[in-house]
Amino acid sequence: MSDQPASPAPPDDDLRETVDLMGKLVARMSDRVDTQTKILNDLDGTVAEARSAAFTAAEQTDPEHYGQLVGETIDGKINDNLVRMGQMCVDLFNASNRAQDALKKAEEDRSVSIRQVWEREEKAKQLKSRLPWFGLGAVVLALAITLLLPRFLAGNASACAVLGASWTTTTTGVDACVFYRE
């Protein structure tokens, strides 16, 4: 058997007390293990949240992802304004072209009007330069009529009657237009 002598058997009260103390110790250790298990579970949840936050932060600070978000924002919110501004530029360009065409037309009309006024002024200058000749012609015509008309009227029986005179034959046999006083 064994070379060591058998230990003396403890008294029953001491054994009970020792077993009781050991039971309390095991229960206390079990409570501590339960508390530490609960703390570890809470810590595991916190670590999972931290890991999720770290992935989210990494995703948000990723330049490619950030560029995509900026692009979506521009496409979603600014694109409509850019389209309207582009259309406004096209409309302004068209209006500018129409205004330029209208100004060209107005300039052409002005040139035509100025040319017409110039032509009229030239005609007026020509008329002014010819006016003395017209006056001279009128004077010559008036003189000729003054000298020749009475002779013509007096030499024709019908014209003599129109003047209110009488056509008679003189004693020498010459026809004459005569005015009688009453």
> CB 58: neighbour CB atoms within 10 A?
10
| Strand (E) or helix (H) holding 101 | helix 79-154
Instruction: Round to whole Å and give the CA distance between 101 and 136.
Output: 53
The answer to whether the beta carbons of residues 161 and 167 sit under 8 Å apart is yes
Mean pLDDT per block of 10 residues along the chain (182 residues) reads: 61 83 88 88 86 79 76 76 86 92 92 93 89 88 86 79 83 84 74
Provide the pLDDT for residue 140: 92
Instruction: Round to whole Å and give the CA distance between 125 and 115.
Output: 15
Instruction: Round to whole Å and give the CA distance between 162 and 168.
Output: 15
Provide the pLDDT for residue 162: 82
Which amino acid appears at position 29 of this protein?
M
Q: How far is CA 93 from the centre of its chain?
A: 7
Say what the pTM is.
0.36
Provide the pLDDT for residue 5: 64
Q: Name the nearest CA neighbour of 165 among 179, 151, 148, 149.
A: 179
Task: Provide the total of helices (H) and of strands (E) in the chain, helices listed first.
Answer: 4, 2
Instruction: Round to whole Å and give the CA distance between 11 and 13.
Output: 6
